[in-house]
Structure 1
Amino acid sequence: MSEKVYLSIYSKGFPVTKDHGEFQLIVPNNQNKLNLGIESNLALSSNWPAFISGFYEISEDLASNHKCILFESNQAAIIKGFPVREVGKRANVIVLIGTIMLENRELNAKQLAALDNLVDYLIKQYSTILAKNDQYLIEQLKNGLFLKDRVFELNISQSENISWYSDLLEEKKKWENIKGFSDKDNIIGGANVLIGTEADIYNAGLQGLVDGFYDPISKAIFPINDKLKRVSIPVVDDDAFLALKKDVIEIKETLQGVQVTLQDIPNLIIETIHATLNNILFNAKKKKK
């Protein structure tokens, strides 16, 4: 079953919506059209404008490699920002959010890797289009014609970095209260686990923003406070396990005995009939004498 990806795009200098003052939501062209959850929460976040402005001076290569992954109930999203540059025009920026609606299905590494690839591809395409910044483009954005359908089908066959995401999700299963993963430059986007090291947290002064870090080398999550909780795994008592195993063996032996008894019933019936017939014949012979 293919997953649906909902796309939302923010930029600057397009008088389409005024939801964020300096930055505008251009796809969809109305904040009321955003899905509840990750999309709407980001739109209302006080950190969101600062997050967007962080992509003005970044290089395209660095922007492409940045990671910001968010999770919410039955949703997962990848956010990417990209500089928009055109000769003779002022610098601009584009931020794209790709959100998967999971509908009670577990997220897997192929889906997340494919989502990353899709968002990376689309943001590069749209940054080129937005760089034109002409009147025709503005009219399209105003009328909601720039991207009539913001829902995309996720093609998991076009997935790279699957092993990286597989390691990440496998480790995530061991912990509760993870909102997302991000590198240090994008942490204000809403993630609470840094992709990096403990030194990165303290060097960048992120102690108040994150609850732990994911080390890609050791492929492990390390909490820095008590907000991240390990998922509790039931511990089996050895004595109780042995007692249960003994009970199971006894029940099995009893059932096997019952089975043998049931198998012997036809033979017992035949033997009884033979004995009865022999008695009848023996008594008949005695009477003749």
Structure 2
Amino acid sequence: MSTQLHRLLEIMAKLRDPEGGCPWDLAQDFSTIAPYTIEEAYEVADAIDRGDMDGLRDELGDLLLQVVFHAQMAREAGHFGFEEVAQAIADKMERRHPHVFGDDGRHDDADAVRASWEEIKRAERSAAGVDDRSALAGLSRGLPEWQRAVKLQDRAARVGFDWPGPAPVLDKLAEELEEVRAEFEAVAAAPGDAAAQARLETELGDLLFVAANLARHAQVDVGTALRRANRKFERRFRAMETLSERDGAPLSARPLEAQDALWTRVKDAERDGDG
């Protein structure tokens, strides 16, 4: 084990030491740490998206800390430790890459590797007593729902259940949008109607599901696209606030029409800058 990794494990053990450890760290359990684990994974993705290598180094460290934290709590409970975590993933990687570590022969393309990977995973589930032969078997329910939607659609596509291209998906998206519009009108006509609200939720879900499918057909990662859209909105909104203050009033004091005008100014300034 590397010196720095051993140091990190010792730091976490000390933080969790009942005698002299950190009160905050001692108060945590798997469920309270899990949200931080998810957040740090997104921070890694954000650093990659921004091309920030210094940030990526730091965010990978934060994510590694999450693994060390969970492993330390598991060791205290007598379940497993960090060594067992590392051994388990090393064993899995060797087992799932027989074309590299075994006698299976090399695969010449990524599709063949993916097919082999999925077949090995099915065999692992069967060996564990999980008799689920669906093309959708093994998909985690802990994924963000947009990501699970894409994976469900991708699995279905592998057995031929897929649109032939983006054009019919765009048509379906327009159809779902009209259904959402109709349900919004129904909710407006019957405020407080729980059934109408439930139908609207269902139709919005269908719309988002089809939008995720469109991104898959476009070979666009939904998470990356949303991160960029969020950053663009934040950048423009902050610029609106700055312009508003410069013009003598906070943004919150201006009516929507004036706020829209500021938004247009920001967009136009960005467009001029790109040119």
- TM-score relative to the length of structure 1: 0.22
User: More relative contact order in 1 or in 2 (CA 8 Å, sep 6+)?
Assistant: 1
The structure where helix makes up a greater share of residues is: 2
The structure where strand makes up a greater share of residues is: 1
- TM-score relative to the length of structure 2: 0.23
Structure with larger Rg:
1
